[in-house]
Structure 1
């Protein structure tokens, strides 16, 4: 009861912070997004009747959706996507008369979609893809008067059909029901005048394709991987904006004609993909001579048996693809300031300025190919931001699963001005984060992923929440709003008390604490060889008084800052939060232990600080961040297979050192992707020994006895299941965790995501012979046998039974062997092909799924051929 009271007080306090209209609480969560927050959504939010934006996406929230959220009369947008929310959609949501945007994709929401939601008069976007929804699709949804996007991909409406009434959704722009276990026939959608995007692929739809002419706005029709029969409708050849027509993997017959592309309007960048593979097409009408901008795929049809006679050989082979994403600008040097860049539109005059860097994502675009729409997108976004065209540069873009389109933007100040002023930065950020850019029918809803302030902007006070909230206040609210434990509630209370008393941490301000005298007296006696003791003043100066712009991470121990010492050394400073403070004796014991660890694959401890009631550890700075950052897509440049293998080998060497050569030996206990850091040369270094446990002395026969722990420590998803059940910690517990990291390196998946476990998912693909379908498509081309051998090792590391796992020595030796094989492999690369994921690989599991694989027609002692393109 006390927890709820504290949470309610914090939420209420949000409505009365400075610069928010008195009695009004419009926004809850602008700074809560993408913060790895846990716990459940508190029902007390339902008491904030003036709330307009509920923004909690990109966290680790769990539990069910409170019914109370359905009684927020002014709510415009609810974003809880990319969390771990479970349970049903509350029927009370039918009361949200002003809500336009339901973004709840990528969770574990289950059960039937309440038909009552068809009463929502303002609903525009309904995005619930990648959940566990079941039951039937509500027929009543055709009554939604303003619905533009209905996106329910990857749910399980098993046995149900698409209601014929959906053909009466007169305002619909996009209908996406991919992989929903739908049956029955395709409804007639020709009465929807502005419809631009249809994806009904990967279902069990039957019957023929409706022949009525669709909207001229259609860019994408994907009906692949169903059980459709009959002819390819002639009306598909009369769609001027068509970019993609995918009818592959059905039972269609008839003929293919050059009329398929004659009505399409092509500009310099427009392309058309016609995928008719794996049907029963037996005839060609006329001579097939498509322009270079048309990709025609006929492989797997009877007509290809006579490919030479019909002169269609080029259409009957495997498609390699030639996509190039992003754009580039000519080289132009801007003096010596690394943060100044030339404005591309002014090349070759080399007008230089400091851009704002923005991560931006289209969540449900109505197109399949972006380059033909680059100019219109440029004009749309520039106008929406109140900028001149030359100020906006699209630095790069990439399609992500969904499909969603992630891009990185650079926004330049006006000509003859080298940087934006603080008010203009605040205005631009408000435009993005407050959804003040008008929605566009083609590009759909968007989200701000990051707004990066570097160089001359890093010291500007440009905190730009629309309400003008200070970051400390928002953090307090976040913690209170999601608090589910006494500990979190206590932290929130402390934050609020400090704000009320006008608390500001400074160099001269000391924290009260009963350990101060003990620390000061013991510190004078402690001298640790090779580790420098820093003063609080030095730490404060290195981080500009712990300015928010210098923060590079946060964990259970506290915040991590990038600091520059007086001699110019760049360091990472881990600053303990109050709940992590140790007694002085324990703190120095840990430092003394860490000072003995010296290995090129371990992050080195440089020094510490223990004064002003502060405890800090100073490490070497890793300029390329964490492995998690690279695998999650936070960093644009993807890691190649050889780089990933080198990271795996370096990590294994660091852990093997801890187990066998450290004095004394250690078990890490918390190996995960966020604890593997990368230096400027991408050398992997294991970090964070906060949960490390001294390894026991070897038994007489040389085996390592287990350490029985009263409390299991570690991170869910990486935790050894046998250690979890028996509390018996061994060196094989670290092997298991490292095996999970190996699977992440190979697949790009998270250990646990939306109810899916990475070990089960990969093992299922392995046993079904489709293991290459789960390989990370950002990895580029790779030697298949080397990947296969690496996958086999990873799965053996993740075996449930401790004795079945290899030792860390064996892990390192196997990785070293795979590395040698990779260096000898054929360097030729192939282009990525998304459709490879749908085809069974040649890799078959034989015998026990954790044992080494047999790759048909290959030799595991050689990683030379073939090179496989990613999915």
Structure 2
């Protein structure tokens, strides 16, 4: 087919990981060698037993696995003695796969990594996996697997890690697991594993992490476990254990012990635990006796939780007198014990929970505010003060860290990760971190390019080959293991600015496919409640223009995560003052628009009219003037000023200033000469956009929304994405506009919990509204994904979202299901690669899934569009010069030219949707 042999085509509706994995095979793609026939046959059998609704494995039907870069396949970069290439890694994580695992997995004898994490696979684990003697990582967590663990898994001589957590595995742990002499990590929590823990597991010489939380075990914790020489983390919370606690103090380097919520009895061994221990959680058992005085001599202990047991006596004074560690207070929890009647422990008998320590983004002091260009930011700790660079953004989560408080380990983690990636320590910035249920530690990391002091080369942006290298280190588990920090999960991997192309045999398009994307449902940046901010405003009430004045404050509501306006009578009026945003008076606005001449009107909507204006310094602007008595417009006015004053991105319309006097409210934007996207894809457009231009506009729009979801602080849900709110500058660079309906994304509460949605009255434009949001009133980032998906369908078809009772999503879906998808494409966009158009259409339909969990994250949308763009030839038209069009002429507005979208009416309680005709209200 057309796409065969192009490495940039392999990323069809798949996560970043699959793209980067395939690139490791490119070096063999030009050789004559092929994959071993038995392994090809096995892969085809594996696919037959999987259900792949997103068609991620579509290219498994064509060519050779290694030389044609099948999704998720990594091969050895040289042929074996038999003259064939062999599969080294099978990585199909987070691809929405269901079905079952084939026994043919055992026919991949050279496999080192088997990764099906975070899918919906059912059935049992095939015993044939035990035939893969080279297997090092068995990663099956986050599925719906059932049945017992095969005994054959215990005979994998090179297995380093077994992750089967968060499934429905039942039955007992096979005694054969005692033969896993190289296995360091057992992650088997959150299943239905039953029976006694085999004492034979105490023979495991390299066991570091043993996690069996939330299972249905019976019997006791084997005392033989005290003989494990390398154990650092033992977590058996809520696993059904009975009997006494063995003397685990013999384990030489035990750092984390959680045996809470079991049925353990008897006293705690009185001997001293390892000096390395940070966490002892024994709460919610039936333990008796006294609290051992040996707990007082643990130098790194962060939390001691003995709550809800039967301890008597008193707490040894040495424990409660020595309560600090590295300047932080140790947490001691004793509530629910008889000893709480003692006066000396009253401070520890409350029901306080462990502190959810977290960190938010760092502020760079001493540098000019917002001096870096869009997508660039200051590099903390850089050798050059106030140095700007484009970061690489990584979502990262520690699965089983060996501590409760991360702060004392921050410097050590930075050194570990930066050295593991072969980076200088200043290139890594921990943007934020927060604990999640598990406990797991989620982080958002920023990586910055290396600063070459001598040559000063590529120091502001990453070299593309360096992005590829870093991505491959993460996705291929190339970062050296660390027992304290434990295994990790990669949640996201993207950067918002093109890197400098490297001198490489690979095409730039292929390399971009590695870097620009994400693995999982798009993740939103966390911010703490301490970031709640407010801005003071004052204004005159539009409904009374006789001089009565009111003073208003616009602030962030912690209950609704939205801006709330509270007003009180005040004289005299205090004018708005916002840093970085210019305030204009009424005379300046009247002069700029020739007293608001109809000849300069370029738009009109429910909020008011939009004019083209020229300021005194010659700057051409768009001025949106609120109509008198527009109550909805008042709230939008304050919201839009507040948001746009701190949003800076090349794909977001910039706010120049505002006017708030003489009973007037006006917003002043940068002028966009080529108007709205809706105008350019309408049937009346005299210069239709080519496919390449439409694709670039889609990518520009997605980048703007991605910035709102992941880089704005706090993140923002736009809530009104539509073609008339996407504006085009003189070179057809797309910019998202109109933030009057936007809402702040949820922020963590005092315990660190973050909701995924905002409950709110439904607002937006019919035809673009997320059906899930419309029914539930729960606004999420996936609501913006849906709306942008509708815009993508408009770009591809030229249709309106709703016209003559026909809905664009239903119409295109019907054509797609009938196999006549090309019949609905807009003929005016001219010749285009059919494979690219099909990928673009499929992405658009994925965005328009009725349920939010079926839609891609905005990070994935950007990555997919980058992949499709990379498929086009360099002279395809996606360049600034070819994209430029003459600015459209300003003509008097008329009802027919400003009212585009006939829509159906909605009868929903509490909804303020407008029925009938929805006019454009965006400046052009």
* Range class of TM-score, shorter chain: 0.5 to 0.7
Q: Is structure 2 residue 703 aligned with structure 1 residue 551?
A: no
How many angstroms does 1:134 deviate by?
A: 0.7
How many angstroms does 1:437 deviate by?
A: 2.2
1:623 to 1:364, Cα distance in 2 relative to 1, 3 A: farther
Deviations along 1:183-211, whole A, 9 cap, x unmatched? 11011211111100011111221100002
What is the TM-score with the length of structure 1 in the denominator?
A: 0.56
Confirm or deny: 8 A CA contact 1:398 1:405 kept in the other structure.
Answer: yes
Q: Is structure 2 residue 161 aligned with structure 1 residue 129?
A: no
Confirm or deny: 8 A CA contact 2:358 2:433 kept in the other structure.
Answer: yes
Q: Is structure 2 residue 402 aligned with structure 1 residue 284?
A: no
- Residue 373 (structure 2) aligned to one of 337, 349, 353: 337
How many angstroms does 1:388 deviate by?
A: 2.4
1:348 to 1:449, Cα distance in 2 relative to 1, 3 A: same
Give, in whole Å, the separation in 1 of the partners of 2:763 and 2:685: 29
How many angstroms does 1:363 deviate by?
A: 3.5
Confirm or deny: 8 A CA contact 2:278 2:402 kept in the other structure.
Answer: no
Q: How many residues align?
A: 581
Confirm or deny: 8 A CA contact 1:602 1:687 kept in the other structure.
Answer: no
1:314 to 1:364, Cα distance in 2 relative to 1, 3 A: closer
Q: Is structure 2 residue 142 aligned with structure 1 residue 106?
A: yes
Quote the residue 1:78 is aligned against: 114
Quote the residue 2:473 is aligned against: 431
Matches of residues 698-717 of structure 1 in structure 2 within 5 Å? none
Give, in whole Å, the separation in 2 of the partners of 1:168 and 1:92: 25
Give the stretch that moved more between structures: 223-232 or 332-341: 332-341
1:45 to 1:621, Cα distance in 2 relative to 1, 3 A: farther
1:621 to 1:316, Cα distance in 2 relative to 1, 3 A: same
Q: Is structure 2 residue 721 aligned with structure 1 residue 603?
A: yes
Quote the residue 2:500 is aligned against: 460
Q: Secondary structure at the match of 1:427?
A: helix
Give, in whole Å, the separation in 2 of the partners of 1:351 and 1:448: 28
Q: Greater RCO between the two (CA within 8 Å, min separation 6)?
A: 2
How many angstroms does 1:415 deviate by?
A: 5.5
Confirm or deny: 8 A CA contact 1:173 1:366 kept in the other structure.
Answer: no
Deviations along 1:542-566, whole A, 9 cap, x unmatched? 86x57xxx7379xxxxxx67699xx
Quote the residue 1:250 is aligned against: 285
Quote the residue 1:377 is aligned against: 413
Quote the residue 1:147 is aligned against: 183
How many angstroms does 1:145 deviate by?
A: 1.2
Deviations along 1:134-192, whole A, 9 cap, x unmatched? 1111111011110100011110124x121111222121000000001111101121111
Confirm or deny: 8 A CA contact 1:533 1:608 kept in the other structure.
Answer: no
- Residue 315 (structure 1) aligned to one of 321, 331, 348: 348
Give, in whole Å, the separation in 2 of the partners of 1:621 and 1:326: 31
Confirm or deny: 8 A CA contact 1:244 1:272 kept in the other structure.
Answer: yes
Confirm or deny: 8 A CA contact 1:84 1:108 kept in the other structure.
Answer: yes
Deviations along 1:594-619, whole A, 9 cap, x unmatched? xxxxxx9643332999xxxxxx9999
Quote the residue 1:399 is aligned against: 435
Matches of residues 568-583 of structure 1 in structure 2 within 5 Å? none
Give, in whole Å, the separation in 2 of the partners of 1:373 and 1:206: 34
Unpaired segments of 5 or more residues in structure 1? 1-8, 476-525, 554-559, 565-569, 573-599, 610-615, 660-665, 698-707, 716-737, 745-749, 754-806, 814-871
Quote the residue 1:272 is aligned against: 302
Between Structure 1 and Structure 2, whose CA radius of gyration is higher?
2
Q: Secondary structure at the match of 1:256?
A: coil
Unpaired segments of 5 or more residues in structure 2? 1-8, 12-21, 67-72, 76-84, 516-677, 710-717, 795-799, 818-847, 857-905, 913-924
1:467 to 1:219, Cα distance in 2 relative to 1, 3 A: farther
Q: Secondary structure at the match of 2:229?
A: coil
What is the TM-score with the length of structure 2 in the denominator?
A: 0.53
Q: Secondary structure at the match of 1:378?
A: helix
Confirm or deny: 8 A CA contact 1:170 1:193 kept in the other structure.
Answer: yes
Give, in whole Å, the separation in 1 of the partners of 2:781 and 2:691: 24
Q: Secondary structure at the match of 1:110?
A: coil
Q: Is structure 2 residue 760 aligned with structure 1 residue 649?
A: yes
Deviations along 1:397-418, whole A, 9 cap, x unmatched? 2233343333223334226443
Confirm or deny: 8 A CA contact 2:767 2:802 kept in the other structure.
Answer: no
Give, in whole Å, the separation in 1 of the partners of 2:464 and 2:143: 37
Quote the residue 2:685 is aligned against: 533
Aligned-pair RMSD on alpha carbons?
5.6
Q: Secondary structure at the match of 1:54?
A: strand
Q: Secondary structure at the match of 1:68?
A: helix
Give, in whole Å, the separation in 2 of the partners of 1:349 and 1:16: 41
Quote the residue 1:325 is aligned against: 358
- Residue 209 (structure 1) aligned to one of 225, 245, 249: 245
Quote the residue 2:208 is aligned against: 173
1:114 to 1:362, Cα distance in 2 relative to 1, 3 A: same
How many angstroms does 1:653 deviate by?
A: 3.7
Give, in whole Å, the separation in 2 of the partners of 1:713 and 1:216: 66
1:24 to 1:469, Cα distance in 2 relative to 1, 3 A: farther
1:194 to 1:563, Cα distance in 2 relative to 1, 3 A: closer
1:469 to 1:282, Cα distance in 2 relative to 1, 3 A: same
1:78 to 1:403, Cα distance in 2 relative to 1, 3 A: farther
How many angstroms does 1:687 deviate by?
A: 7.9
Confirm or deny: 8 A CA contact 1:333 1:341 kept in the other structure.
Answer: no
Confirm or deny: 8 A CA contact 1:125 1:149 kept in the other structure.
Answer: yes
1:116 to 1:385, Cα distance in 2 relative to 1, 3 A: same
Deviations along 1:778-820, whole A, 9 cap, x unmatched? xxxxxxxxxxxxxxxxxxxxxxxxxxxxx9633559xxxxxxx
Give the stretch that moved more between structures: 441-450 or 144-153: 441-450
Give, in whole Å, the separation in 2 of the partners of 1:638 and 1:537: 47
Quote the residue 1:301 is aligned against: 337
Give, in whole Å, the separation in 1 of the partners of 2:442 and 2:436: 7
Confirm or deny: 8 A CA contact 1:39 1:62 kept in the other structure.
Answer: no
Confirm or deny: 8 A CA contact 2:463 2:501 kept in the other structure.
Answer: no
Give, in whole Å, the separation in 1 of the partners of 2:740 and 2:493: 19
